[in-house]
Amino acid sequence: MSFVFPALNYPVVTHAGEADWHFPTAAEQWPAVVGDWLLDPHSLTAKLKHHSQHFAVQVLGQREAPLLGNETRWLGEIAGGVVREVILWCDHEPWVFARSVFPLQALAAAKLKLEALGDKPLGEHLFNQPDLRRSAVEVSQFAADSKVGRLHQQLGYAAQTLWGRRSCFHAAEQQLLVAEVFIGASPLAKHYRETHHV
């Protein structure tokens, strides 16, 4: 019997103010597992596939939409933006909620082929671009009552704080801002539950 994704609303993130995106500082002392997932410079998709036998992308939605204030800081006041939200599943368990934002013109860029992406992982697609450049990683925690925190609970997990990261990718003369929040059965979410007795 094939796995059926749960029905979820899109978009998950509807307004700014629930994240405190910042560049990591030396004062932030993290357990190894936290830094290993938040600051890994390689493809997250490849890492998730390495940690699971069955990897799948659930596309919650992708459409033209206004950017949030903290997203325009990276992409500027662009005329039109596309918002893509997905959940990355490992062995039928949710590990990552990802929100990608990019200019409308990036969708039509011939070299990127984003219009044909479908349910393929965007991150893996970007890491295959020959001219890929990536910004430094920003990190943030998300409260249990944030939109992403509520999504985590909707998927059957207890209320807790979640870790996320984001960075800006440059490829084919386009910019794409990708945020990833570790939810559900991910090692980061599990580590928080174990250390905070959730």
Q: Which residues participate in the annotated binding site for substrate?
A: 84, 122, 180
Q: Length of the chain, please? A: 198
Given CA atoms 106, 108, 110, 113 in this order, what sign does their dihedral have?
A: positive
Q: Residue 13 is encoded by which pair of tokens?
A: 């993130």
Tell me the C-alpha distance between 58 and 6, whole Å. 9
Tell me the C-alpha distance between 191 and 196, whole Å. 8
CB contact at 8 A, 191 and 31? yes
Q: Residue 102 belongs to what H/E stretch? A: strand 93-103
| Coil, strand or helix at 62 | strand
- Write out the binding residues: 84, 122, 180
Tell me the C-alpha distance between 44 and 95, whole Å. 11
CB contact at 8 A, 148 and 17? no
